[in-house]
Chains A and B, each alone.
Chain A
Amino acid sequence: MRDSELSFVTRAVAGAVSRSAAVTVVAPLESEAREPDGAFDLVGIGVRPGDRWPEPGAARWPTPPGPGTIWILDEASNDAVAILGAFGTMGRAFTIAAAAATEGTGLRQLSLTPGDRGASGIVGMHVPVNPLAAAHRHAGLGFTGYVLVLSDRSNTPPVQPPTPAVAWLTARFHDRHIVVVEGGTAAAWKGRALRGVVGVETRTDLWRLLAHASVVVDVAPGTIIGRECIESLLLGTPIVVPEESTAAAHAHSGGGMTYSAVADLLDAVEFLSGEGARSPVADRGRAYAEEYYGNAGRFVDRVQRTLSQGLT
């Protein structure tokens, strides 16, 4: 669930571009397209055997292998996916990544996050969530209104000791449940002690946890769009994220707060725990997420409009 967002973003962008052009996807050499809901792998969207990039020893920014190329970059994992589409004028290339990734490359940047000032085009994305998931809390938890922490520990880490962020939060908010999602589990902490562990086996489980939290702390958001943060905003839960993460743009949009120190994190959670402060933040966050990430049709339109503008 906390794997690279590369496959998820590739699927969405390839789908949008394919509305106006035939699309070929060139995958990184060692692509890992695991999705817990099993809906996607790179092969499933037309990656040709042998279309792997870059070749061993190749430069980080090779000549685009074809016309109308979009590179989707995951800075954290140093991976990239190229989407080749016969759209518009030939020979132009784009990236979808952080602004710094395009320096000196001559590539034009399209951004998936509206807060990116370095971008020459903002396309947003479509992040689907099932609003019905919010109708019921996670079956394994008998409470709501907890602080949900999305951990940066992957695979199946031991539940104890908790990640440092959880340790600080459960020490500061003694009477509140702190639920940490990592490695396919959700561990409930309260008063510095572990109270129980439940499974998070599907995306719907995660959506339920997001929807019934009072605030979501994502200590290591996805490096391309911060998918879980967007899902949280769509479900009406404010977010708290690191200041220099990709998801900070979502928080700055009004849907949450950022931190760069422990005290900031604790203050942000305390502030957003008050219903008077939380409610307007949740409303702003949901409106923002709906605008840029909530509708597939608008996303396709923005992609096509941005590409055609850049190529004429």
Chain B
Amino acid sequence: MTEKPPVMFRRPSDPPEPLPPLRSSEHIVRLHTEWARLHATLAESEALSARLRATARSAASRLVGGDDHQLLGDVVRAVDAIAGRCDELSERLANLELTADDLARSLGQEITQLRAAVERTTGQGSGKSTPPAR
């Protein structure tokens, strides 16, 4: 066993658990829920008193902070878009990790077999026995 032994990895190549989807995370779901509650249509509120309260709240909101309301809507949409892109990137990264592990496994094993076979063919390991760790 005269050849240099295979190189070790500095960290395991096996893929970790996939990242959980960001869009379905607790905070973003709550954000959507609250946004939807603020914009609940009148038709959704069956009781007259509830519809009156919702109409008053919506009117007051537009009078007091129309620009803020618009900005808040934009922020919610932006957060949603970023979360969607993060999920997409996570999925791509997970696929890449799987591919890297497959490559490390298949190529590593095949090259190791090949090197061992070459060593045997060229006679480096024949004749006197040479314990590999010496």
Contacts and interface: CB of A to CB of B under 8 A. Distances in A.
A190 interface: yes
A172 B116 contact: yes
Given A160-B8, A171-B6, A263-B120, A151 B133 contact: yes
A147 to B, nearest CB: 13
B8 A162 contact: yes
B9 to A, nearest CB: 4
A193 B130 CA distance: 25
Given A168-B116, A171-B112, A262-B125, A191 B13 contact: yes
Interface stretch (A36-44, A137-145, A197-205, A241-249): A241-249
B132 A263 contact: no
Contacts of B116: 168, 172, 261-263, 266
A141 B12 CA distance: 18
A46 to B, nearest CB: 35
A164 B132 CA distance: 6
A122 to B, nearest CB: 23
B37 interface: no
A261 to B, nearest CB: 2
Interface size band for A: 35 or more
B5 A167 contact: yes
A232 to B, nearest CB: 17
Interface string A180-211: 00000000011111110000000000000000
A265 to B, nearest CB: 6
B128 A260 contact: yes
A242 B116 CA distance: 16
A301 interface: no
Nearest to B121: A263
A191 B14 contact: yes
Contacts of B105: 174-175, 191
Given A168-B116, A172-B116, A192-B8, A262 B109 contact: no
Given A163-B133, A164-B132, A174-B104, A193 B11 contact: yes
A192 B125 contact: no
B27 interface: no
A264 interface: yes
Interface string A141-173: 000000000011100000011111111101111
Nearest to B118: A263
B126 interface: yes
Given A172-B113, A261-B120, A266-B113, A191 B129 contact: no
Contacts of B120: 261-264
Contacts of B125: 260-264
A264 B125 CA distance: 9
Contact of B134 (A172, A220, A259): A220
A239 B43 CA distance: 79
A261 B113 contact: no
A215 interface: no
21 contacts: A152-B131, A167-B7, A167-B8, A168-B116, A171-B6, A171-B108, A190-B12, A191-B14, A191-B104, A192-B7, A192-B104, A193-B10, A242-B130, A259-B129, A260-B127, A261-B1, A261-B116, A262-B1, A262-B116, A263-B125, A265-B132
Interface of B: 1, 3, 5-14, 101, 104-105, 108-109, 111-113, 115-117, 119-120, 124-134
Chain A to chain B: the 6 pairs with minimum beta-carbon distance, closest first = A261-B125, A167-B5, A171-B6, A263-B116, A165-B132, A164-B5
